[in-house]
Amino acid sequence: MAQSDKFLKVQKRAEEVRDKYAESQSTYFNALVLGDSGSGKTSLALTCPKPLFIDSFDPGGTKTEALKPQIDSGDILCETKWEADSWKEPFAFKDWEREMKERKDEGFFDYLGTYVLDSASRWSESLMYEIIRRGGSKGSRTGKNPQLQDYLVQQLTAVDWIGWIMALKCNVLVTAHLGFEKDEYTGAIESGPLMYGKLAKKIPIPFDECYIMRVKETSRGLEYRCQTKMDGRYAAKSRIGGRAFEMMEEPDVRAMMKKAKAAPDSYTDKDTILNPTLALEERTK
């Protein structure tokens, strides 16, 4: 084979690899946001592109003053029925799984600016309730304590679903309560989502962004900040922000994405012909 032919073959293969890489890169924002109750997780979600759809698993998690006017306007939709889930009569995770697949088949997410799961901590508890409810060869174990094998099923199922959610054709924001764990090797105290066992370590891995909501009392009142970089105790990260982000940023997703200059078209409100409020009402009749 002539040298020129070899060069053309290598060039063609390189172009194919480049094209496949480009196709594999999502232009949508995805973030895991960790924080204590009242730290501003929901407020941060409100700065994401609209329409915004929230699956709320946290009891009372969407009862904030800032949400109401945007719910009334149709910019934000909240599904709160999952909040009533309990270990004695679990229903939420099974129904949520079914609805998520139906929504995707109907193209519902294509009309959303951002999908929000609030919070993954409570969502993972509902998953465990469902695993116990399903039981095994001896039938349901509803109301019983989890067994060792249940935790592995929880990890595998949760990680699969997070990957499924992140492949949606909209921006994705997942919240979780903030937990701390002592590293068994170094003895250092590290932050992570408040979840069972090893799941807390696995959930953050696929996210491009992992922010920690921080609140500080100042002479001007409470100051809310979004931590974007690791500091030894708080495991924050940003693949998009790079050097553009400071350690502490104003909690505004649109502003942060503009600062990062990352895929600006996907971080603006969708100009959709579908009224998401009517769509939700129609599919829940």
Q: Minimal CA–CA distance to 34: which of 249, 236, 258? A: 236
pLDDT tens digit at each of 285 positions of the chain: 566 665 566 666 666 555 543 444 457 889 999 999 889 998 899 999 988 999 999 987 677 777 778 888 778 899 999 999 999 999 999 999 999 999 999 999 999 999 999 999 999 999 999 999 999 878 899 989 999 999 999 999 999 999 999 999 999 999 999 988 876 666 677 788 989 888 999 999 999 999 999 998 888 888 999 999 999 889 999 998 988 999 999 999 999 988 887 544 555 676 544 454 444 454 444
Q: Are 52 and 114 in contact (CB under 8 A)?
A: yes
Domains of the chain: 29-280 (3.40.50)
Structure tokens at 32: 């895991």
Amino acid at 257: M
- Within its chain, how far is the Cα of 126 from the centroid? 16
Asked whether 76 and 62 are in contact (CB, 8 A), the reply is no
Q: Cβ distance 112 to 53 under 8 Å?
A: yes
Interhelix angle 92-105/120-134, rounded to 10 degrees, is 110
Q: How far is 73 from 77, CA to CA, in rounded Å?
A: 10
Cβ count within 10 A of residue 240: 19
pTM to 2 decimal places = 0.83
